[in-house]
Amino acid sequence: MASGTTLNGKVAIVTGAASGIGRAIAHAFADEGAKVVVTDVEEEAGELVAKEIADRGGEAIFRYCDVGERLDVRNLVCAAGEAFEKIDILVNNAGIVAGGDFLTLEEEAFDRVIRTNLKGHFLVGQAVAQRMVAQIDEGHAPGTIINMSSINAVVAIPTQVAYAASKGGVKQLTEAMALALAPYGIRVNAIGPGTIQTPMAGNVNDNPGANKMLMSRTPLGRIGQPEEIASVAVFLASGAASYMTGQTVYVDGGRLSLNYLAQPPVKPKSGDRKE
């Protein structure tokens, strides 16, 4: 059952919402009173997310959308308008990875990542922004757009060339969108997650080597959860962030501030614990 009112009466589109961070954001928005358009290329999983929201007392629909396909994007925006009459919030979350060494990475793999992670943000962002501008003329309040960037917009991984390039592009796209849409009062911000426990990240907790490596670069000493990204998305979509635009909020457990290997977090002794 939706329990919050932060986004009461708002209509939100969340791309890549069938799992992971997108799913958590869709649920968090619904819990705060928003009507949610769940969209993904994974139809069965996406339909399930919409049903989960409805079963908890929220309101949601699922629509298939390949964010790199202009016709799909146009149909998505039309479907959202037909179902809920307006669009107040967009979360551009859909994203993929394609690992490989720079010297051998296939052009097709690079293009596929850029198409989804960067071009998709542009296509959906542009189509939704056009709708938001038209809504202002109809008397609606300006909307807000949240792009999903990454700490890899700042720090690179040599085996994730396309992903790093796409997320660096998202950071700059966010700033350009924010400047272009500021005259209309439409805010555009981004979230840059660190390592978050999602299907894309895999189950690193079960791999001692991978887990040790991740902890060595994460001062808070743990992997983030999708719900922790969702809470930031709720803030950015709400009136509490009304003076924020063009910013990327990095939610990374302290990684970007690190210039040495982190020590394991100090665990309190049993006698030091306070109840």
3-state secondary structure of 15: strand
Q: Per the structure block, which two tokens stand in for 172?
A: 């700059």
The catalytic residues are 163
| CA distance linking residue 158 with residue 269, whole number of Å | 40
DSSP-assigned beta bridge partners for residue 146: 91, 189
The full length of the chain comes to 275
| CA distance linking residue 62 with residue 47, whole number of Å | 5
What's 90's DSSP letter? E
Q: Per the structure block, which two tokens stand in for 262?
A: 């982190």
| CA distance linking residue 165 with residue 97, whole number of Å | 11
DSSP-assigned beta bridge partners for residue 147: 92, 190
What's 256's DSSP letter? G
| CA distance linking residue 46 with residue 54, whole number of Å | 13
Q: 273 phi and psi, to 5 degrees?
A: -70, 140
| CA distance linking residue 60 with residue 196, whole number of Å | 25
One-letter amino acid of 19: S
